[in-house]
Chains A and B, each alone.
Chain A
């Protein structure tokens, strides 16, 4: 054994476990004295390695001086890749973790690993393995291990001035021992053409013939580029693919590896064998991939290979592209890659949203500009695969155009699908994403923006110099103020907030007013009427002509529903360790929520010729308070939305589901759509809720002008019509309960009402009995409904008093009477 080395051999034996068993800690181990050199090492190898180590040490110093130790870290990663049999990304993580544990910088640790690796003989076993597996007889016995050869190649590559030297060094140090006879290094152009940058073993004539491969010509290298993966040909001729050197080695095998860093493919490493190639052991393939990655680093450093260098914080060319995009008549985003510490592409930064940008979720341009793509549009990572496509375009440079691509945007946590024509292309290190939403989907999107408007958002504008404040939308209502009262200035905001949130507001104001930056904060608003609302405020400063702060624009949004969703999630998580007290607290929350959303008193409703009454009775057992809801609201069209629903289950989850569905329906109804269409949308809302709730509902739109009620039902008991001394339930229209299927259609029916007619909508708390079929319970309900009553209110009281339910469920009844 060669003494101290980094823990390895078994990739499954992760570092956390190893830390306990291997003592001293791995970081310390690799810095152990270098005198544990195996005695058998030949003087020749020793000398070469010593020189390598010396040069690497020099590189450490140089790299440190440049505060940019990438090359060395890559070397160390290569060692870890080979030792742990893992991929480059995992190696990067291991390196970071080891450095943390050892209290060293990654650079210092990388240097230690390389020093240590250069002095142990462990890789000779790997050498044996490779020799037998590949079936070649490489260098004679005293040769250095594969690992050392690879590292020698690596360091040579790094020190080589140009790609041609890199190719020669790769072939000599790393590839000939594997039996390869030639190597080519291609770079990709912006138009996905391929240029031969370096070659060894093919001869100058062949290289001259293949110096350039235009876009669209399928060669071995292009297969790897387009496929973004390593491609192996047992025999090039048998595969029927043209490539450099085919005439000389027609039956020879090829391995073609895309060479990329940070999610972008800079080139392709093509390795040529003289004879047909058997499948390579996995370890060898990994080594080749590590070499390709190394190549990529040298390629991206070459000015002709890539217009932008690494890393790309500003995104070269992004500003020109932003200007260009402003000239487009379709919405467009300019994206630049966002890399993690290990240099892996994890996301894209939205550098610019163009002038015609329209957020599918209805947000202002400023809230998207500068954000990370996945943060602004989490749904792009989902089934729409948009993120994958962008990633692919960025990697390969091959543009993507498609018509009618399904896009998903989250509107108030609800995924909204739309169809759009998409164009994605790469310019320099930026990606331009252009889309055109189809008319129908645009219509739906604007509908949902209405819904969002009803999601209690109110904009404001405050002239901080003159002190004028303009409030739009529902801000007075949100603040619990009368429209005649003075709007609240930003500096007075803390007086309207919970004392515990004063700090949050102070920091928010500091950022907007002093630092003049866009800021956002969430706080609890304490209204004078005693109601607490959870509010998010976002504000953007605008400077005057003198460069001083002139106005602040922004919006307040009531996020109480979202807040309660978070409460629900926390409650679910806590359930495992819940104490009795916590359970009581949750039940109290649920009940409060019910009351906050639906006061058990009659809502004021200004509908001519229609009398409305409601009764809502929560379950007696607090833990059973569930998701029953009702809504009666006059729409802008003067028609009246009438609805009763029931979310399955009980407790916080059901109640928050109820809040979402009730608000969604209210918003959607403003669009003027019919009840069938509304339920169809509501079904999609329910289906996409994270909690996967199901619910039943009956929804009616009453037109006072024509006294007609259009209605539809989703798995809910149909309404009851009381006319004179008759009471009958309306037909069981086709309509599945909400949330069970991704898409559902709802049958609609129209009913012309006469003066004196009463329509009752109710939840099954009113009728559900264990010992009686629903049919019989409804019959009993109809009997009660037939009894004469002097007012609508009395009728509902009678129904509630005589209700036959025995399941201690929520009960909710809405009655409307035409006067």
Chain B
């Protein structure tokens, strides 16, 4: 039996009325996924449709984390926006590739690239 502290940090930086960058650090798993989902819903609720996730400090992600990303991307796309993943660590990038999530949410090298893509998408 494993006992671990819930280990996820999410910082939200609001860029404009439509855009927010969420920096996600630590481990995104069954225990912490709901935390990220809440923060995403919060931004979505405030009308932000362009959500950039900075994953450069995310060490681990499991299927619960993936599900949060999938639900979020389906939701923002329904309202004409999009979800952008920036700078995943090799471990997380590998998970995204194995699960095929990169086919529907292609990751960007950095936050700047993701933001540029978000602005270009309108």
Q: Which of B60, B63, B70 contacts A649, CB < 8 Å?
A: B63
Stretch in contact with the other chain, from B11-19, B92-100, B113-121: B92-100
Can you list, as one digit per residue, whether each of A759-785 has a CB less than 8 Å from chain B (1) or not (0)?
Answer: 000000000101001110000000000
Question: In the complex the two chains form, what is the Cα distance from A681 to B63 in whole Å?
Answer: 21
- Shortest Cβ distance from residue B71 to the other chain A in the assembled complex, whole angstroms: 8
A37 is an interface residue with CB less than 8 A from chain B:
no
- Shortest Cβ distance from residue B52 to the other chain A in the assembled complex, whole angstroms: 20
Contact (A808, B103) CB under 8 Å given A649-B64, A773-B90: no
B10 is an interface residue with CB less than 8 A from chain A:
no
Contact (A808, B90) CB under 8 Å given A715-B100, A740-B101: no
Q: Which of B63, B98, B104 contacts A648, CB < 8 Å?
A: B63
Taking CB atoms, residues of chain B closer than 8 Å to A621 are 1
Q: Which of B59, B66, B74, B97 contacts A732, CB < 8 Å?
A: B97
Taking CB atoms, residues of chain B closer than 8 Å to A648 are 63-64, 66-67
Q: Determine if A737 and B66 form an interchain contact, defined as CB atoms under 8 angstroms apart.
A: yes
Q: Determine if B101 and A774 form an interchain contact, defined as CB atoms under 8 angstroms apart.
A: no
Chain A 639-661 residues near chain B, CB threshold 8 A: 646, 648-650
Question: In the complex the two chains form, what is the Cα distance from A648 to B74 in whole Å?
Answer: 17
Q: Which of A620, A714, A732 contacts B1, CB < 8 Å?
A: A620
Taking CB atoms, residues of chain B closer than 8 Å to A717 are 98
Q: Determine if B100 and A734 form an interchain contact, defined as CB atoms under 8 angstroms apart.
A: yes
Contact (A736, B103) CB under 8 Å given A694-B66, A808-B2: yes
Q: Determine if B30 and A736 form an interchain contact, defined as CB atoms under 8 angstroms apart.
A: no
A716 is an interface residue with CB less than 8 A from chain B:
yes
A191 is an interface residue with CB less than 8 A from chain B:
no
Can you list, as one digit per residue, whether each of A682-704 has a CB less than 8 Å from chain B (1) or not (0)?
Answer: 00000000001010100000000
Q: Determine if B101 and A737 form an interchain contact, defined as CB atoms under 8 angstroms apart.
A: yes
- Shortest Cβ distance from residue A640 to the other chain B in the assembled complex, whole angstroms: 25
Q: Determine if A770 and B99 form an interchain contact, defined as CB atoms under 8 angstroms apart.
A: no
Can you list, as one digit per residue, whether each of A772-813 has a CB less than 8 Å from chain B (1) or not (0)?
Answer: 011100000000000000000000000000000011100000
Can you list, as one digit per residue, whether each of A561-589 has a CB less than 8 Å from chain B (1) or not (0)?
Answer: 00000000000000000000000000000
Q: Which of B59, B62, B67, B104 contacts A807, CB < 8 Å?
A: B62
Q: Determine if B91 and A808 form an interchain contact, defined as CB atoms under 8 angstroms apart.
A: no
- Shortest Cβ distance from residue B27 to the other chain A in the assembled complex, whole angstroms: 7
Q: Determine if A694 and B98 form an interchain contact, defined as CB atoms under 8 angstroms apart.
A: no
Taking CB atoms, residues of chain A closer than 8 Å to B64 are 648-649
Chain B residue at minimal CB-CB distance from A741: B104
Size range of the chain B interface in the assembly: 20 to 34
Question: In the complex the two chains form, what is the Cα distance from A770 to B66 in whole Å?
Answer: 15
Chain A residue at minimal CB-CB distance from B2: A808
- Shortest Cβ distance from residue A646 to the other chain B in the assembled complex, whole angstroms: 7
Question: In the complex the two chains form, what is the Cα distance from A716 to B62 in whole Å?
Answer: 13
Can you list, as one digit per residue, whether each of B61-102 has a CB less than 8 Å from chain A (1) or not (0)?
Answer: 011101100110010000000000000001100110111110
Q: Which of B1, B66, B94 contacts A773, CB < 8 Å?
A: B94
Contact (A774, B91) CB under 8 Å given A648-B67, A650-B30: yes
Q: Determine if B60 and A770 form an interchain contact, defined as CB atoms under 8 angstroms apart.
A: yes
Question: In the complex the two chains form, what is the Cα distance from A717 to B62 in whole Å?
Answer: 13
Taking CB atoms, residues of chain A closer than 8 Å to B74 are 740
- Shortest Cβ distance from residue B89 to the other chain A in the assembled complex, whole angstroms: 9
Taking CB atoms, residues of chain B closer than 8 Å to A734 are 100, 103
Q: Determine if A770 and B98 form an interchain contact, defined as CB atoms under 8 angstroms apart.
A: no
- Shortest Cβ distance from residue A645 to the other chain B in the assembled complex, whole angstroms: 12
Taking CB atoms, residues of chain A closer than 8 Å to B91 are 773-774
Chain B 33-80 residues near chain A, CB threshold 8 A: 59-60, 62-64, 66-67, 70-71, 74
Question: In the complex the two chains form, what is the Cα distance from A806 to B62 in whole Å?
Answer: 13
- Shortest Cβ distance from residue B73 to the other chain A in the assembled complex, whole angstroms: 9
Q: Determine if A736 and B104 form an interchain contact, defined as CB atoms under 8 angstroms apart.
A: yes
A667 is an interface residue with CB less than 8 A from chain B:
no
Q: Determine if B63 and A774 form an interchain contact, defined as CB atoms under 8 angstroms apart.
A: no
Question: In the complex the two chains form, what is the Cα distance from A692 to B71 in whole Å?
Answer: 9
Taking CB atoms, residues of chain B closer than 8 Å to A692 are 71
Taking CB atoms, residues of chain A closer than 8 Å to B66 are 648, 694, 737
Question: In the complex the two chains form, what is the Cα distance from A621 to B30 in whole Å?
Answer: 14
Question: In the complex the two chains form, what is the Cα distance from A646 to B97 in whole Å?
Answer: 17
Chain B residue at minimal CB-CB distance from A736: B100
Can you list, as one digit per residue, whether each of A369-399 has a CB less than 8 Å from chain B (1) or not (0)?
Answer: 0000000000000000000000000000000
A198 is an interface residue with CB less than 8 A from chain B:
no
Q: Which of B59, B62, B71 contacts A768, CB < 8 Å?
A: B62
Chain A residue at minimal CB-CB distance from B30: A650
Q: Determine if B99 and A715 form an interchain contact, defined as CB atoms under 8 angstroms apart.
A: yes
Taking CB atoms, residues of chain B closer than 8 Å to A741 are 104
Taking CB atoms, residues of chain A closer than 8 Å to B71 are 692
Q: Which of A694, A737, A740, A774 gathers most chain B CB within 10 Å?
A: A740
Chain A residue at minimal CB-CB distance from B105: A740
- Shortest Cβ distance from residue A704 to the other chain B in the assembled complex, whole angstroms: 30
- Shortest Cβ distance from residue B30 to the other chain A in the assembled complex, whole angstroms: 7
Q: Determine if B100 and A775 form an interchain contact, defined as CB atoms under 8 angstroms apart.
A: no
5 other A-B residue contacts (CB within 8 Å) besides A737-B66, A770-B60: A648-B67, A734-B103, A736-B103, A770-B27, A808-B1
Q: Which residues of A are interface residues toward B (Cβ below 8 A)?
A: 620-621, 646, 648-650, 692, 694, 696, 714-717, 732, 734-737, 740-741, 768, 770, 773-775, 806-808
A-B contact list, 9 entries, CB within 8 Å: A649-B30, A694-B70, A732-B97, A737-B66, A740-B70, A773-B94, A806-B2, A807-B2, A808-B2
10 tightest CB-CB pairs across the interface, nearest first? A736-B100, A648-B63, A715-B99, A773-B91, A737-B99, A740-B70, A715-B100, A774-B94, A770-B60, A648-B67
